[in-house]
Chain A
């Protein structure tokens, strides 16, 4: 079972920041937070991951609370192409651990 809770769906206006929350209150010390997204009819696309520090890359920023029980994925300037299902996954950084995908958040970026 997925160890994360995400809202079922969210809307965001094009050009605005999209903030996607994720709760992972039972996260363990050796577990990382990963974010993937899946655009319709495509395979999941890696976005970002982190352990306890905030992370930023060319796609997004990841903000993890100090207690690590929740996190937020931020798409700074959402475009229509960012419309997708976003998955928050908690996974040990151990080799061979498959990803357990929950239902995710369906983000709709509106013009």
Chain B
């Protein structure tokens, strides 16, 4: 597709369960970002991948959160032992390679996570 896609669109889980959220960036985009947005709040940066470099994990709120990006394309955000405060919309964005003249981030539709 032409844009960033995310799956699932919605996820309801029970407290203590693990969840995996998937992001498919725009083809050719080497940078990938994860953000989350709690109800009525702004976006909170979580993690950033650029090519094969070590990811910037400075925004991850706890060690229950992890992310990986296989083959420089698809990324999975994993939340272990989910808590109710993890309920939010998780957004993925991607952007073009460096020095391409276009570093605008394009966002996916998000995954709405509800932890009961």
Chains A and B come from one and the same complex: yes
Interface 1/0s, chain B 36-69, versus A by CB < 8 A?
A: 0000001101001010000010010000000000
Contacting residues of chain A (1-37) with chain B, CB-CB under 8 angstroms: 2, 34, 36
Query: DSSP majority for the B interface?
Result: strand
What's the nearest-Cβ distance from chain A to residue B51, in Å?
10
Indicate if the CB atoms of B107 and A45 lie closer than 8 Å. Answer: yes
> 1/0 per residue B78-95: CB within 8 Å of A?
000000000000010100
Residues of B within 8 Å of A, CB-based: how many?
Answer: 22
In the bound complex, do residue A98 and residue B33 qualify as a contact, i.e. CB atoms below 8 Å apart? yes
Report yes or no: A46 in contact with B103, Cβ–Cβ below 8 A. Answer: no
Digit string of B81-116 for contact with A (CB within 8 Å is 1, else 0)?
000000000010100001000011111111000000
The 5 sampled A-B contact pairs (Cβ below 8 Å) are A46-B105, A96-B48, A98-B48, A99-B105, A101-B42
Residues of chain B at the chain A interface (Cβ within 8 Å): 4, 31, 33, 35, 42-43, 45, 48, 50, 56, 59, 91, 93, 98, 103-110
